[in-house]
């Protein structure tokens, strides 16, 4: 992460910068607000500004907004200066860090504000195959297109590719194409000269030049206007860009990684995405599976997020109970890893004791995952249990699942549970952790496929 310290490096403020460097941040320095603005305009980018509260933070934030420079600001000052802290937050600072600095607080702020949490955590074979391909292509100079549903971790994968590349010690610069208005995105990417348009008060270096020598991530590239795509294509092909209002091209040396949660081939057919740009970007496609398609990662990630947010909120360690684990495995996670992370953060806060019980697993609308569970994930929980048996009991259960589809395991799980309950749909649905409606739909599907389904009060015959 790139951190810019704004203010004097003497005393406690300098100690904060040393702690940040010890935590892995790359630290730059500016003495004043104007010095920070000049550094940002000139391409010395930053992921986070840590600013002395005695400086004019309101003027800094106003200038950043006026020049469309997107970087969060954290104020730092003597812990007893409550009024300065309040004024900084009102001015738009994301956080206030009291001095003298505490290492864990600095680390928490770096992670929470700059979102510098990019560890690639996986166990499932489906995800392992994607990582294997990423490892293989990362050292090359090829453009990479990372696709997958929202929340699957596309940016995390992009950063992983950068860390594994020959450009790992050079900048990694990310641009969210969906978050920047269309009329400003060109300037954000390519920069502009002073006076190029209203509000261009000084020359501004764009993200292409800022990433020179490193990697440029074009996040959600499908949201880019088709007219700007032509200029992007030229920049990638020719390795040179034209600043808005500039008189001559500027050479750049970058590797482009793009992400999309849409089917870009379909967008080409619609006419909203250029086919030649897709060919240029999609030299290698890393398709990240949805979380429901990588069930072995659910509990691994849940444990990771429980530790992360217990540490962040100083609640003490939280252990996820077996019943809560079953609940997590039985849910479909339409929002993928992002939804799981938010759910676990909420669970840590709602858990009064040292364990996370099912009652703490609550969705944003107040409902419980069991009310929206899907049997596919429930079947996956059996696979996970079998994997545990494989590790501790000779592997007979684990080997029994190898070569079978999740749909087959799901069907047998549902029918065996129904058989155990002598056909009682309500009891079977409760055991499976799914709704009675979901169970009935599945049973109808099996009947239509010619599978014997027991009626209430009876057990099924052998298949």
Query: 68 to each of 65, 275, 366, how far by Cα in Å?
Result: 5, 30, 37
Q: Could you list the pLDDT tens digit for every one of the 463 residues in the chain? A: 788 889 887 777 778 778 888 877 788 889 899 999 988 888 777 888 989 888 999 999 998 888 778 788 988 887 667 788 888 888 888 888 887 777 777 777 766 654 545 678 999 999 999 999 999 999 999 999 999 999 999 999 999 999 999 999 888 999 999 888 887 899 889 998 888 777 777 888 899 999 999 999 999 999 999 999 999 999 999 999 998 888 789 999 999 999 999 999 999 999 999 999 999 999 999 999 999 999 999 999 999 999 988 987 888 899 999 999 999 998 999 999 999 999 999 999 999 899 999 999 998 878 888 654 454 554 555 444 444 444 444 444 444 566 677 778 888 888 888 877 777 777 677 677 676 777 888 888 888 888 888 776 555 544 3
pLDDT for 336 equals 94
pLDDT for 398 equals 44
- Asked if residue 399 is part of any domain, the answer here is yes
- Which of 88, 114, 140 lies at the terminal end of a domain, its last residue? 114
- Asked if residue 461 is part of any domain, the answer here is no
pLDDT for 86 equals 85
Structural domain boundaries, residue 363:
292-372
- Asked if residue 460 is part of any domain, the answer here is no
pLDDT for 401 equals 60
Q: Are residues 266 and 379 in the same domain?
A: no
Q: Are residues 56 and 189 in the same domain?
A: no
Q: Are residues 48 and 93 in the same domain?
A: yes
- Distance (Å, whole) CA 262 – CA 439: 31
- Asked if residue 458 is part of any domain, the answer here is no
CA neighbor of 328 nearest in space, from 354, 364, 292: 292
pLDDT for 395 equals 41
Beta bridge partners of 260: 147
Residue 357 neighbours by CB under 8 Å, 6+ apart: 321, 323, 324, 351
Q: Are residues 362 and 382 in the same domain?
A: no
Q: Are residues 173 and 319 in the same domain?
A: no
- Which of 372, 398, 432 lies at the terminal end of a domain, its last residue? 372
Q: Which two tokens stand for residue 445?
A: 């599907």
Q: Which two tokens stand for residue 30?
A: 């500016």
Handedness of CA 385, 389, 392, 398 (dihedral sign): negative
Kindly report the CATH number assigned to the domain that includes residue 333. 1.10.8.60
E strand or H helix that includes residue 144: strand 144-147
- Distance (Å, whole) CA 201 – CA 192: 10
Q: Are residues 176 and 228 in the same domain?
A: yes
- Which of 114, 142, 173 lies at the terminal end of a domain, its last residue? 114
Strand 26-30 versus strand 2-6 pairing type:
parallel
Match 């793009």 to its residue by tokens.
Answer: 258
pLDDT for 400 equals 55
Q: Are residues 179 and 279 in the same domain?
A: yes
Kindly report the CATH number assigned to the domain that includes residue 278. 3.40.50.300
Q: Are residues 135 and 271 in the same domain?
A: yes
How many CA atoms, within 13 angstroms, populate the side-chain half-sphere of residue 230?
2
- Distance (Å, whole) CA 13 – CA 50: 9
Q: Are residues 278 and 299 in the same domain?
A: no
Q: Which two tokens stand for residue 403?
A: 């070569």
Q: Are residues 368 and 389 in the same domain?
A: no
- Distance (Å, whole) CA 161 – CA 306: 26
- Asked if residue 303 is part of any domain, the answer here is yes
- Asked if residue 23 is part of any domain, the answer here is yes
Residue 397 neighbours by CB under 8 Å, 6+ apart: 385, 386, 389, 390
Give the single-character DSSP code of 371.
Answer: G
| SS3 call for 44 | coil
Query: 265 to each of 142, 154, 221, 284, 410, how far by Cα in Å?
Result: 19, 18, 13, 14, 33
Q: Are residues 274 and 251 in the same domain?
A: yes
Q: Which two tokens stand for residue 398?
A: 């684990």
- Distance (Å, whole) CA 71 – CA 75: 13
The structural domain count of the chain equals 4
pLDDT for 431 equals 72
Q: At what angle do helices 375-392 and 298-312 cross, to 10 degrees?
A: 90
pLDDT for 238 equals 93
Residue count of the chain, please give it.
463
Match 């005393």 to its residue by tokens.
Answer: 11
- Asked if residue 278 is part of any domain, the answer here is yes
Beta bridge partners of 46: none
Helices (H), 138-178: 154-164
Q: Are residues 297 and 356 in the same domain?
A: yes
Angle at 29 between CA 25 and CA 32, to 5 degrees: 140
- Asked if residue 434 is part of any domain, the answer here is yes
């Amino acid at each position: 992460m790139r951190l810019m310290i704004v203010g004097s490096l003497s005393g406690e403020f300098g100690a904060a910068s040393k702690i940040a460097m010890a935590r892995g941040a790359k630290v730059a320095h500016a003495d004043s607000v104007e010095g920070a603005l000049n550094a940002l305009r000139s391409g010395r980018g930053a992921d986070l500004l840590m600013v002395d509260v005695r400086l004019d933070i309101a003027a800094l934030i106003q200038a950043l907004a006026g020049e469309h420079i997107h970087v969060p600001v954290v104020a730092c000052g003597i812990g007893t200066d409550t009024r300065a802290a309040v004024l900084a937050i009102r001015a738009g600072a994301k956080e206030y860090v009291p001095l003298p600095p505490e290492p864990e607080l600095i680390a928490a702020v770096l992670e929470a504000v700059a979102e510098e949490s990019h560890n690639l955590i996986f166990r499932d074979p489906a995800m392992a195959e994607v990582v294997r391909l990423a490892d293989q292509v990362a050292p090359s100079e090829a453009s990479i297109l990372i696709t997958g549903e929202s929340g699957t971790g596309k940016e995390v994968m992009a950063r992983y590719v950068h860390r594994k590349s020959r450009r790992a010690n050079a900048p990694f610069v990310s641009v969210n194409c969906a978050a920047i208005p269309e009329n400003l995105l060109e300037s954000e990417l390519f920069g502009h000269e002073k006076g190029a348009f209203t509000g261009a008060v000084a020359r501004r270096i764009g993200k292409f030049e800022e990433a020179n020598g490193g990697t440029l991530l074009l996040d959600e590239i499908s949201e880019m206007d088709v007219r700007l795509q032509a200029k992007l294509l030229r920049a990638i092909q020719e390795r040179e860009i034209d600043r808005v209002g500039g008189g001559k091209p500027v050479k750049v040396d970058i590797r482009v990684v793009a992400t999309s949660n849409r089917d870009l081939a379909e967008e080409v057919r619609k006419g909203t995405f250029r086919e030649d740009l897709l060919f240029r970007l999609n030299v290698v496609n890393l398709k990240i599976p949805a979380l429901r398609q990588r069930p072995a990662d659910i509990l691994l990630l849940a444990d990771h997020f429980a530790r992360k947010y217990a540490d962040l909120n100083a609640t003490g360690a939280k252990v996820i109970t077996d019943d809560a684990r079953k609940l997590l495995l039985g849910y479909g996670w339409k929002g993928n890893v992002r939804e799981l992370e938010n759910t676990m953060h909420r669970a840590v806060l709602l858990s009064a004791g040292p364990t996370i019980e099912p009652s703490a697993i609550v969705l944003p609308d107040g409902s419980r995952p069991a009310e929206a569970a899907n049997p596919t994930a429930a079947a996956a929980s059996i696979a996970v249990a079998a994997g545990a048996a494989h590790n501790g009991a000779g592997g007979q259960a684990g080997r029994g699942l190898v070569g079978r589809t999740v749909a087959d395991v799901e069907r047998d799980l549902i029918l065996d549970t129904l058989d155990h309950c002598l056909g009682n749909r309500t009891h079977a649905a409760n055991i499976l952790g799914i709704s009675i409606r979901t169970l009935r739909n599945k049973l109808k599907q099996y009947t239509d496929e010619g599978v014997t389904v027991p009626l209430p009060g009876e057990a099924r015959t052998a298949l």
